[in-house]
Amino acid sequence: MIVVATENFEVYHGVVDELRDRGVRFTTIEPGDPVPEAVRVAIVGPEDEHPNIDTVRADPENPRRAVDEALAILRGSDGRTVVGIDPGDRPGIAVLSGETVVAAFQVPADETAEIVAREIEEAADPLVRIGDGARLAGAKIIEAIEDAPVELVDETGTTPYLGTGARGMGDVLAAVNIARLEGEVVQERDIEPTPGEIQRIKDRSRRESEAERTISERLARKVATGELSIEEALAKHRGDE
C-alpha cells in the first residue's frame, strides 16, 4: 500500500486526486507519525521528513510523476520509462514504466515530440520505440526527439483486433505493443522505399480497388513515404485515367 505523508497542501491534493482517479489503495498520515505496517511506499512533499521506507518526493506541479514512480516501486518493476509510438497523422503514444502502462495519448503528429519530451523529462534511462510504418511521419518524429535513444521496431501484427466499443483505440494499443518490442537503434529514418515495398503497395491497391486498378509506381512511392494514403492514391489514379 502507498501512504501520503506531507504537510504540503498542493502535493497532498494533487497526489490524492491522482491516486483516487486510478483506484489505488492508499492511506494518509502526518509527517513523522508511525508508518502503518501494510505500507511499502511513501509519497512526501519536497520539504517533508523522509520515512524509513521506499519514498518518492513529489513535485507539486507534477503529482502524476510521483504516483507513477510509487506504483513502479510497489509492483517491483525496474521502472524504466519506455515510450512506444505508432506513427501516422495522429500517432498513438503509450508510456510504460516497466511493464505498466502509465499514460497514453493520441495527438497530431507535430505534437508528438513535445509529448515525448515531457514524459521522459525526469526519467533516469528513457527509451523511445517507434513503429516502422508511416515512413515519412516516423522520420519526422525521430528527427524531433531529443534526450533519449530511439529504436525502430517492426510493427507487423502490433495492431490488435478491436471488438465492440473499442473503435479508435487501435493506434494507442499498437503503441503499447511497440513499446514492448526490441528494435534497432536509429538516429534517423531512411524514407526511400525499397522496390519490394513499392510492389506490395501496388498489389494492395489492386486488391482494394473496386475495378482492380493498380496505382502507378509514382503514386505507390508517395504511399510508402506517407504523403498519400492508399485511398487517396487510388482516387488520384482514377483522376489521371
Q: 169: domain CATH number?
A: 3.30.420.140
**Three-class DSSP labels, 159-218:** CCCCCCCCCCCHHHHHHHHHHCCCCEEECCCCCCCCHHHHHHHHHHHHHHCCCCCCCCHH
Q: Does residue 174 share a domain with residue 99? A: yes
Label residue 78 by pLDDT band (50, 70, 90).
low
Q: Looking at the predicted structure, is the pLDDT value of residue 93 above 80?
A: yes
Q: Does residue 201 share a domain with residue 176? A: no
Residues 78-102: what's their mean pLDDT? 89
Q: Does residue 64 share a domain with residue 102? A: no
Per-residue confidence (pLDDT) for residue 98, from 0 to 100: 83
The number of domains in the chain is 3
Q: Look up residue 192 and give its three cell numbers.
A: 526511400
Q: Does residue 231 share a domain with residue 199? A: yes
Domain boundary, last residue among 74, 102, 131: 74
**Percent of the chain that is helix, strand, coil (3-state, to 5):** 40, 20, 45
Domain boundary, last residue among 55, 74, 93: 74
Per-residue confidence (pLDDT) for residue 236, from 0 to 100: 86
The one-letter code for the residue type at 227 is E
Higher pLDDT, 71 or 104: 104
Q: Does residue 173 share a domain with residue 91? A: yes
Residues 169-190: what's their mean pLDDT? 92
Q: Looking at the predicted structure, is the pLDDT value of residue 223 above 60?
A: yes
- Domain containing 211 equals 195-240
Q: Does residue 203 share a domain with residue 152? A: no
Q: Does residue 175 share a domain with residue 93? A: yes
Label residue 197 by pLDDT band (50, 70, 90).
confident
Could you count the other beta carbons within 10 Å of the beta carbon of residue 154? 14
> pTM above the 0.75 mark?
no
Label residue 240 by pLDDT band (50, 70, 90).
low
Q: What is the radius of gyration, based on Cα positions, of the chain?
A: 23
Q: Does residue 212 share a domain with residue 172? A: no
Q: Does residue 85 share a domain with residue 58? A: no
Q: Does residue 89 share a domain with residue 63? A: no
**Signed CA dihedral, 183, 152, 163, 99: sign only:** positive
Q: Looking at the predicted structure, is the pLDDT value of residue 188 above 90?
A: no
Q: Which tens digits make up the pLDDT trace of 100-155?
A: 898 999 999 999 999 999 999 878 789 999 998 888 889 989 999 998 999 999 99
Q: Does residue 182 share a domain with residue 85? A: yes
Q: Does residue 97 share a domain with residue 166? A: yes
Domain boundary, last residue among 186, 210, 231: 186
Q: Looking at the predicted structure, is the pLDDT value of residue 241 above 60?
A: no
Q: Looking at the predicted structure, is the pLDDT value of residue 79 above 70?
A: no
